[in-house]
Amino acid sequence: MGTAICFLVNMTGRFLIGVVLVLVLGLGLTSSHVIDDISKDLIDKFDEVKASLVDNKQLQADTYVSDGLVKLILKIYNSPEVKGKCEKEAKAKREEWKQKQKNLIPGRSSKLDYQALIHLKKSFAADGTWLEAMESEACSVCVLNKLCDDTDDILKRFKFDSSFSKRKQRRLCKVILLALAPRLFPPEDGEAVVCDTQAPYRTFDGRCNNLVTDRLFGSTGGEFRRLETPDYGDCVSALRTDENGDELPNARNVSRFVHDGNEERKTPESSTLTHLAMNFAQFLDHDVTLAEAQGLDCEPYNAKLNPECINIEVPDDDSSFRNRSVREFELERDAPHREPKGCKLIVRQHSNTITAYIDGSNVYGSSDEEAADLRDRNGLLRTMKPPHGCPMKRLLPAQDPDLFCESRDPLRPCFVAGDERANENPGLISVHTIFVREHNRIAKEFNRITSWDAERIFQETRRIIGAVLQRIVYNEFLPLILSKKMILDNDLNLLSGKKTSKDYDPTLNAQMSSAFSVAAYRFGHSMIRDTFSRIPQVIFEQKCDKEKPFLPIPTLDFGNPQYVYDKCQGALDSIYRGLVDDPSSKVDGKFAAAVQNNLSRGKCDLADLIAINIERSRERGVGGYTRYRNGFCKMGRKKVKEFDDLKKDGFTTEAIKNLKMVYKHVDDIDLFTGLHLEGSNPDDLEKYVKCAEEKKENVHADSTE
């Protein structure tokens, strides 16, 4: 699972969590390389570094392109035949989309049930903003087509290798022009951020964490990073296509034929991970990444009127869903990041609506307003006494009754927490509740032993909870997920005693990457079981066979909080014992039927989570598996060029056979699918670990206070 591991290492980096999470690719080119003279060798090198070139802040355009070429591009761009016509065409398309919106059939609220378990008020974009973004994107597509497809003036200047097909030359031309966009259209000055450099506590929205390079690094609303060049069908925003420019295979077919969809199949259990590892991984994800949604009505009768609806068609022979009258899975595209206005060369990016740091934002929120709403008196967090009168410990506060909730009992409402996805499953609710209770336990102790005011008690406790989360991630979670070799190679061990790390690098952007959030970190979906066990205390502590276990909770009952209130079945405590006692499913590319064939997202809405994951990567412009395996992750082995080359990465013969049946080319394999099918790469660690640990002791010997 080498490629999958590289994303987790990239997320944690060589730095203490909460400082910076993502490694940055180096450019690797020197000033002697100019795009006026592109040889085959340079193109190969460019393939390795193009992700960095797309990052506006890393492109030193004068190093890579001559003034003559810039002048030529701008001359053609500013002509009436290019800019003038493209602006007119893009505005016409916007008007066409607006007219289509008027023909929508009134149905459910724009904030739909199928989105409500993931998005509530906070993470929905303002209505209609997609129209403005799509006008900019349409103009960008038009300009690129005219510069690279309709004329050979620029292609001739690039001097591409003659072995490249015309399609490849034109596509690479567009990629290069997009990389040069900051030179062609200098970005406007960013927002001025005022920071209190003496502030003793983190901001809630992540601003001012980095006071040296960029005060917005890792803050809410930041743009998801790219580890590889965005891979869109039109280079700007259209869904990723296959190597021939055709539509990729149906995502549901990939799910059922490659990932072995079968309602009767039982997923094998992990020998090292409990079901709590799955729920903590989800809890951790909800501390660092949440894309902005659009809240569009993608009901089948409206979907074709909105280009941002990308519903997944259920194949005719798919009896699992067709027999239940499910013809398609509703799916909307994530909202585009705030694009610059006007007809400029842009690529669609996306916004992270929460902080990218492991800072407990899933407990406290990612804004001052959220934090204020969650606070109680005396530095505590709000909790709720169970409304039906049972003698139970306090729970998370009740959610606003006007918001979507799967509960059918007004006395058993959904909950509100620092992250709006807290109600997705009873295990996640349990983890949220544990951390809120721990905050209040510590805060009460501070009230007892100090004379601090409520604000200091709240902030000092918040600081402790953030540190606890970070320590759990590094000391308990990652050692179970990553190999010892990976942890040692990437310096992910916490230092013992009073030793302190000197690894903080303020030049690194802490924002999450799109590939991590929509593909790599979704490995946890393979860990989900079909049920959540509920275990009585006496069985958990004494393994007493005379006691009957409580009834398990079906995982397919998504979003229903009633089980947390069920005192007769042990309520939240029994759920948490089940998480600790049950093994998780094995991370192996196979998935529980509950999420693959029975994902319930509201009334009369069934879907396949695996198909949705695959389609989500495509719409976010995340390239295929081989692009990351051969490029960003640089596995130290020969590149994968044919399906049979996958054997070297531990793909089974059966998996390769299934991939060949669905995909036309090995480079078409979706990142989510490839990462889940990778095999393990066993290492002879005993000698290596001993040597590396001795080396670390020597390196950090002078770091003590």
Annotated binding site for heme b: 525
Distance CA 281, CA 288 (A): 11
Bridge partners (DSSP) listed for residue 704 = 499
Distance CA 641, CA 103 (A): 47
Distance CA 380, CA 371 (A): 11
- Sign (positive/negative) of CA torsion 354, 355, 357, 362? negative
How do strand 328-329 and strand 351-352 relate by DSSP bridges?
Answer: unpaired
Instruction: Select from 426, 292, 286, 436 the least CA-distant residue to 362.
Output: 286
- Our measurement of the distance from residue 543's CA atom to the centroid of its chain's CA atoms, rounded to an integer in Å, reads 39
* Angle in degrees, CA 647, 649, 650, rounded to 5: 65
Distance CA 219, CA 366 (A): 9
Distance CA 37, CA 42 (A): 9
Scored b (16 or more CB within 10 A) or e, 592-602 reads bbbbbbbbbbb
* Phi, psi dihedral angles at 675 (to 5 degrees): -65, -35
3-state secondary structure 316-364: CCCHHHHCCCCCEECCECCCECCCCCCCCCCCCCEEECCCCCCCCHHHH
What one-character DSSP code corresponds to residue 225?
B
Binding positions: 525
The number of C-alpha atoms within 13 Å of 570 and in the hemisphere containing its C-beta is 23
- Cβ proximity of 678 and 664 under 8 Å: no
Amino acid at 607: A
Q: Which tokens sit at 361?
A: 């934002």
Helix (H, G, I), strand (E, B) or coil at 684: coil
Bridge partners (DSSP) listed for residue 328 = 313
Q: Which tokens sit at 548?
A: 């009957």
Scored b (16 or more CB within 10 A) or e, 412-439 reads bbbbbbbbbbbbbbbbbbbbbbebbbbb
What one-character DSSP code corresponds to residue 168?
H
Calculated CA dihedral for residues 396, 402, 404, 408, nearest 10 degrees? 80
* Phi, psi dihedral angles at 441 (to 5 degrees): -65, -45
Distance CA 201, CA 570 (A): 38
Distance CA 119, CA 128 (A): 17
Instruction: Select from 186, 222, 225, 223 the least CA-distant residue to 342.
Output: 186
Distance CA 244, CA 666 (A): 12
192 burial type by CB count under 10 A (0-12 exposed, 13-18 middle, 19+ buried): exposed
What one-character DSSP code corresponds to residue 243?
T
* Phi, psi dihedral angles at 293 (to 5 degrees): -105, 170
